Amino acid sequence: MQKSRLSKVAAQFEAVELLNIARSLLKLSYRELSEILNLPESVLCRYTNGELLPSPETAVNIVNKLENLLSLDVVLKRLIKVREGYINFTHIVTQSDLLKLYARRVRNMFQELGITKVLTAATDGIPLAVSAAISLGAELAVAKQYKDLFEDSFYETTYIAGDPPRKVTLYLPKSMLSKGDRVLIVDDIVRTGRTIQSLIDICRQAEAQVVGISVLIALGTEWLNKLRDVDAKIDVVLYLPSTCSSQTS
């Protein structure tokens, strides 16, 4: 009984959260939401202001009708900017409402995998990884291009990145990843897959198991060939043409 009651309350708060995200990210007015949800504008206003919670049945109806509209790939297509083949999405991964949608997607895709650690490479993937870790109740591990001052022992791996090519070395304190950890790797944007391969190498050094890979944006699909021997669930939110450019690999 208690669990059922908590589930109903969680659904009510989820509905209110999605209403606020729809207003914030998609700039939908109360009139537009009223037409979509078949609910009075005044009631929707009271929901979003926190004056009133929708009934459990109304909450389910709101969530069902807004889920497709607020599907993360749909929202990304509306927000992302491509100019002369260059992707500008830095402003996207810092928006709290988009991070909430990403957290919902990660929870739906990976919550059954028993993930204990979320691993990413500094710096652009950190907001996504934090959201993923919170949504899964897992710990966060961030591989950096330098050694932390107060750590003595590191996993490290080197790969070739950039144009012109350059060597990049990632370091992860051994205290952050342990044998037997079940790891979700998070990357914001992927073209070559080299960063993901390097993070997988770190997991192998630690004897941790990569069970999931979450990518926000992928440029083409060739990078997937490099992961054929990785037994992990891979989720890509949005694919864009490989001809697009970015500042990460």
pLDDT tens-place string over residues 90-125: 678 889 999 999 999 999 999 999 999 999 999 889
Peptide bond into 94 cis (omega under 30): no
Binning pLDDT at 50, 70 and 90, where does residue 233 land?
A: very high
Which has the closest alpha carbon to 119: 175, 177, 44, 174?
177
HSE-CB of 39 using CA atoms within 13 angstroms: 20
Question: In the prediction, which pLDDT does 188 show?
Answer: 94
CA distance 71 to 237: 9
Pairing status of strand 81-83 against strand 166-173: unpaired
Sorted by where each begins, the domain ranges of the chain are 2-70, 75-240
- Write down the residue that tokens 């009631």 correspond to: 43
Question: In the prediction, which pLDDT does 246 show?
Answer: 61
Judge if pTM exceeds 0.85: yes
Q: CA-CA-CA-CA torsion for 102, 76, 232, 201, nearest 10 degrees?
A: -90
81, β-bridge pairs: 88
Task: Return the CATH architecture of domain 2-70.
Answer: Orthogonal Bundle (1.10)
Sign of CA dihedral 33, 67, 14, 238: negative
Whether residue 116 contacts residue 137, with contact meaning beta carbons closer than 8 Å, is answered with: no
CA distance 155 to 172: 5
CA distance 249 to 246: 8
Structure tokens at 80: 């992302």
Which has the closest alpha carbon to 216: 245, 247, 242, 188?
188
Fold classification of 75-240 (topology level): Rossmann fold (3.40.50)
Tens-digit pLDDT profile for residues 234-245: 999 999 988 776
Whether residue 190 contacts residue 218, with contact meaning beta carbons closer than 8 Å, is answered with: yes
For residues 249 and 210, the model is more confident at: 210
Q: What is the mean pLDDT of residues 26-38?
A: 96
Q: Phi, psi (5° rounding) for residue 244?
A: -70, 155
**232: alpha, beta or left, given left = phi > 0 and alpha = psi -120 to 50?**
beta
Mean predicted lDDT score pLDDT of the chain = 92
Q: Is pLDDT above 80 for 36?
A: yes
CA distance 94 to 127: 7
CA distance 23 to 21: 5
Q: Is pLDDT above 50 for 248?
A: no
Tens-digit pLDDT profile for residues 146-195: 999 999 999 999 999 876 789 999 999 999 999 999 999 999 999 999 99
Gyration radius (Cα) of the chain, Å: 20
Tens-digit pLDDT profile for residues 8-17: 899 999 999 9
Binning pLDDT at 50, 70 and 90, where does residue 84 land?
A: low
CA distance 177 to 195: 17
